[in-house]
Amino acid sequence: MKAIRYHQVGGPEVLRWEDVPEPTPGPGEVLLRVHAAGVNFADTERRRGLYDAQAPLPRILGSEAAGVVSAVGPGVDAKWVGRRVVALTKESYAELARASVDELLELPPEVSFAQAAALLVQGLTAYHVVHTVGRVEAGQTVLVHAAAGGVGLLAVQLVKAAGARVIGTVSGEAKAKLARDVGADDIVRYDQEDVAARVLSLTQGRGVERVLDSVGASTWQASVDALAPFGQLVSYGNASGPPPHVEVESLYAKSLTVSAYWLRTPTPPEVQRRAREALLAEVVAKRLRVVVGLSLPLAQAEEAHRKLEGRDTVGKVVLLGEG
């Protein structure tokens, strides 16, 4: 089969479209014919050797895939063959990928493969930063950084559905319009404005109860400064680099909480299944809009990485297979 691999860490140019052996599903696994694979910022960090760097090379990237089950491994019911599914998996930048049968979520016909591939990693991240860690409540005000990004757009919608007010940060008017279109109440242009000062102005000096921050180094101080007393900062990414070390004494004045979320943190299976099913149900009901901002053929993963790292995308980036 064909797959995207890299043999050394580096820029997008290290990604190669090449022949590799077809995977064989093991016990409890299925084999997917990949129709769409999600691209995430973590993929670019792995490629650069900044994250998960101990993995042996050459390596196939990708952690989510939507497609059709083509074969099953030992102990898996053959009824799965031919079904349209999406799953968290590994090595999904390929024509075929293995996935645990426990991870499969069957897709209704009204949900496309591209939508499904855009839903799991970023959708589950948004769901958990809003509900599991952030515990956003009606009446609160929430600052969502990178509100036009893949996680940001979903988080804006989930926060609004919880009954809270959303202030989103973006760069550029096109991204501002998109964030507003999915429900952001106010927009702060971080490329033009002092974020903390603008947030305090929008909240009559009080600040926000929650900040959802995937950016890291460049937004950290503004995030802390924008919080109201007893507010909580939820960190879930380092797009601009790792945030500074937290000085606990700096949190005392407003009794702040700093927390974090990582999708790979072990989560009770029933909690994760409920989250997946809830997200899919919201998409089917058209209450949750999945924005695929860029879709390219799988062979063009290098270009997808360039655009994602250049912040030249909105919503989700998806690689499309020929299956």
Report how far residue 178's alpha carbon sits from residue 249's, in angstroms, rounded to the nearest whole number: 38
The number of CA neighbours under 13 Å toward the Cβ of 39 is: 32
Q: Among 104-108, 201-205, 235-239, name the one with the lowest average pLDDT.
A: 235-239
Q: What integer pLDDT is reported at residue 148 of this predicted model?
A: 94
Distance CA 30, CA 102 (A): 10
Q: Counting beta carbons within 10 angstroms of the beta carbon of residue 83, is it exposed (0 to 12), middle (13 to 18) or buried (19 or more)?
A: middle
pLDDT of residue 239: 85
pLDDT of residue 323: 60
63: number of Cβ within 10 Å:
22
Spatial distance between the Cα atoms of 53 and 48, rounded to a whole number of angstroms: 9
SS (H, E, C) 21-61: CCCCCCCCEEEEEEEEEEECHHHHHHHCCCCCCCCCCCEEC
CA atoms in the 13 A half-sphere facing the CB of 86:
26
Each residue's pLDDT tens digit, 102-138 = 999 999 999 999 999 999 999 999 999 999 999 999 9
pLDDT at 69 over 90: yes
Tell how far CA 303 is from the center of its chain.
19
* pLDDT score for 251: 96
Answer whether residue 47 shows pLDDT above 80.
yes
Token reading at 84: 């349209």
Please name which of 42, 297, 304, 291 lies closest in space to residue 147, comparing C-alpha atoms: 291
Residue 25 predicted with pLDDT over 90: yes
Mean pLDDT of 38-63: 93
pLDDT band for position 322 (cuts 50, 70, 90):
confident
pLDDT top residue among 73 and 237 = 73
pLDDT tens-digit map of 253-293: 999 999 999 998 999 988 999 999 999 999 999 999 999 99
Stretch 134-151: mean pLDDT, rounded?
A: 97
Angle between helices 150-161 and 120-127 (to 10 degrees): 40
**Domains present along the chain, CATH in parentheses:** 2-119+291-320 (3.90.180.10), 122-260 (3.40.50.720)
Which residues contact residue 196 at a Cβ distance below 8 angstroms, ignoring those fewer than 6 apart?
221, 222, 225, 226
Percent of the chain at pLDDT > 70 equals 100
| Count of Cβ atoms closer than 10 Å to residue 27 Cβ | 10
* Rounded mean pLDDT, 34-49: 95
